[in-house]
């Protein structure tokens, strides 16, 4: 009986083992088949993935744009020769005979006259690379001025690897744009679009030679439109911001829309590391179109000029000057014998209309004037003495380099000049009368009248308004200030909620400053 039970038990175990073996065998075989398929060692099954036609059309659009626009984009290699002065007879550790003469001749070198050394120069060649876009079939190429500026040699490489020597035709440092030309014809030229029509969120495509890698295409969107920004101490205005990858060497290449039109010239990147971080900037193509003819025909750009220094009209200025709303620009100063002065404009005027167009802000006026052809007669509407007045003005030509002239200042304490009269503190500052001796010492005209800031508390409201020690306050809210008594009377009635306007003389430069708290 025991043998029979044992036999049955063994049979059951055998059956179970066989079943388990068959099961695991099938599992292992399944795993093996799966792994071989993954390694392409066995038959594969085509996945059933449906790509929307719209996606395929978009992909085809990028491919088409790349195929059509790449031939219009060139690589620009530059060479700049720099001369460095060096002394040919300098010893690395000094003159080896100095110690000898010190020991035996008390430092006197007998009958020795050191030969007069002539200056020697060592020439170094610096190489650079950038991009450009062909804008005409006869070889005109648009690029950045900083790509070719200072170059002694320019080599242009086309998409078909042909190389040409480039010649600088025109440069405009103000917009950082330039035109070069190569001796070639029947070239493919890019179509220039309308940068005023771009929208944040539109597709953007950059083509260029980042790090010298030619014919590189990157895609992104228009991230923003920037009115003004400063990169590497250079002020850039009205720039297109994009997250399409832009790196060193992309400068001068085109930024393109989904239609294949050039909407900008890649100009700068923001990067704390030196590489791409998703923030690039392009100069709008409309700025280039506005100056192309001048660059090609004249080699430079001539712009209109009024000869004034301006500042925005904020709520404080509007209220104190009698305007119902903050609009226009305030004339900080008017240069002597400049077009504005000849037309009758004065310091303190507010320009509200130029050539029939409303003036919204300082940048708006600068653009309107710059776009005006020199010697053109135009009309300027201003706000003066609580009423509008119209003036006829002949626009001048902007000088090549405008520098703010500031007088040299003799350092000295604001309290110098033999007076100890100082006002009470107001908005964190104290003032004292401006005497003739003090004016002469600090570089002001002897006829200047006002009170001078003697003390200014760090972080005070006066400092936040932009006031500085040694500034001469000529008036407050358009009321003359020449004595401490006048200063304290006017400031006692001034309200921050209404806004306060300071008329300042800062070492010969007349400016308006404002402060307001609601």
Q: Would you say 331 and 309 are in contact if contact means Cβ atoms under 8 Å apart?
A: yes
Would you call 54 helix, strand, or coil by DSSP? Answer: helix
Distance of CA 198 to the CA centre of its chain: 20
DSSP string, 267-290: EEE--SSSS--S-EEEEEHHHHHT
CA-CA distance, 22 to 19, in Å (whole number)?
5
Query: Is 152 labeled as catalytic in the residue annotation?
Result: no
Query: Is 497 labeled as catalytic in the residue annotation?
Result: no
CA-CA distance, 289 to 191, in Å (whole number)?
12
From the candidates 176, 243, 349, 355, give the one annotated as an active-site residue.
176
Q: Would you say 435 and 419 are in contact if contact means Cβ atoms under 8 Å apart?
A: yes
Tell the burial category of 112 from Cβ atoms under 10 Å away from its Cβ (0-12, 13-18, 19+): exposed
Token pair for 364: 């708006």
Query: Is 146 labeled as catalytic in the residue annotation?
Result: yes
Neighbouring residues of 337: CB distance < 8 A, sequence distance ≥ 6? none
Closest CA to 341 of 402, 400, 399, 393: 393
From the candidates 77, 131, 146, 355, give the one annotated as an active-site residue.
146
User: What's the DSSP call for residue 192?
Assistant: B
CA-CA distance, 74 to 140, in Å (whole number)?
11
Closest CA to 182 of 158, 157, 165: 165
Closest CA to 476 of 427, 443, 409, 436: 427
Q: Would you say 498 and 449 are in contact if contact means Cβ atoms under 8 Å apart?
A: no
Q: Residue 292: phi, psi to the nearest 5?
A: -60, -45
From the candidates 251, 333, 423, 475, give the one annotated as an active-site residue.
251
Token pair for 27: 């599992």
Neighbouring residues of 323: CB distance < 8 A, sequence distance ≥ 6? 313, 317, 350, 383
CA-CA distance, 485 to 290, in Å (whole number)?
55
Q: Would you say 397 and 305 are in contact if contact means Cβ atoms under 8 Å apart?
A: yes
List residues with catalytic annotation.
146, 176, 251
């Amino acid at each position: 009986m025991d043998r029979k039970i044992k036999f049955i038990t063994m049979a059951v175990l055998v059956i179970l083992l066989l079943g388990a073996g068959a099961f695991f065998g099938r599992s292992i075989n399944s795993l093996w088949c799966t792994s071989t398929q993954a390694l392409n060692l066995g038959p594969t099954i085509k996945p059933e993935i449906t790509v929307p036609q719209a996606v395929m059309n978009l992909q085809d659009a990028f491919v088409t744009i790349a195929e059509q626009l790449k031939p219009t984009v060139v690589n620009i290699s530059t060479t700049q020769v720099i001369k460095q002065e060096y002394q040919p007879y300098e010893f690395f550790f000094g003159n080896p005979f100095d110690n000898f003469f010190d020991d035996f001749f008390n430092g006197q070198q007998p009958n020795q006259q050191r030969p007069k050394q002539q200056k020697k120069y060592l020439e170094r060649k610096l190489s650079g690379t950038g991009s450009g876009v062909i804008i005409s079939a006869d070889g005109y190429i648009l690029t950045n001025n900083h790509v070719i500026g200072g170059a002694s040699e320019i080599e242009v490489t086309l998409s078909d690897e042909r190389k040409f020597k480039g010649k600088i035709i025109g440069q405009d440092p103000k917009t950082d744009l330039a035109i070069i030309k190569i001796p070639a014809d029947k070239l493919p030229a890019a179509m220039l679009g309308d940068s005023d029509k771009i929208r944040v969120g539109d597709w953007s495509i950059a083509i260029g030679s980042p790090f010298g890698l030619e014919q590189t295409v990157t895609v992104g969107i228009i991230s923003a439109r920037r009115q003004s920004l400063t990169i590497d101490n250079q002020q850039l205005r009205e720039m297109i911001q994009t997250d399409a990858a832009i790196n060193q060497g992309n400068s001068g290449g085109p930024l393109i829309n989904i239609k294949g039109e050039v909407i900008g010239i890649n100009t700068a990147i923001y990067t704390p590391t030196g590489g791409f971080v998703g923030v690039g900037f392009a100069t709008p193509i409309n700025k280039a179109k506005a100056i192309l003819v001048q660059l090609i025909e004249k080699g430079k750009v001539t712009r209109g000029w009024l000869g004034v220094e301006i500042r925005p009209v904020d709520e404080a200025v509007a209220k104190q000057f009698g305007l119902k709303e903050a609009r226009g620009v305030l004339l900080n100063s008017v240069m002597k014998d400049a077009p504005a002065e000849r037309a009758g404009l004065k310091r303190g005027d507010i320009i509200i209309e130029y050539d029939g167009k409303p003036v919204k802000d300082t940048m708006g006026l600068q653009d309107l004037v710059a776009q005006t052809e020199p010697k053109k007669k135009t009309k300027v509407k201003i706000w003066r003495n609580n009423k509008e007045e119209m003036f006829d003005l002949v626009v001048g030509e902007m000088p090549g380099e405008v520098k703010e002239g500031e007088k040299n200042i003799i350092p000295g304490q604001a309290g110098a000049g033999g007076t100890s009269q100082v006002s009470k503190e107001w908005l964190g500052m104290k003032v004292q009368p401006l005497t003739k001796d003090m004016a002469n010492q600090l570089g002001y005209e002897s006829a200047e009248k006002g009170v001078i800031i003697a003390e200014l508390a760090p972080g005070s409201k006066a400092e936040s308004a932009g006031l500085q020690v040694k500034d001469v306050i000529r008036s407050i809210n358009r009321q003359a200030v020449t004595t401490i008594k006048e200063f304290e009377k006017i400031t006692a009635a001034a309200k921050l909620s209404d806004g306060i306007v300071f008329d300042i003389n800062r070492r010969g430069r007349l400016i308006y400053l404002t402060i307001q708290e609601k």
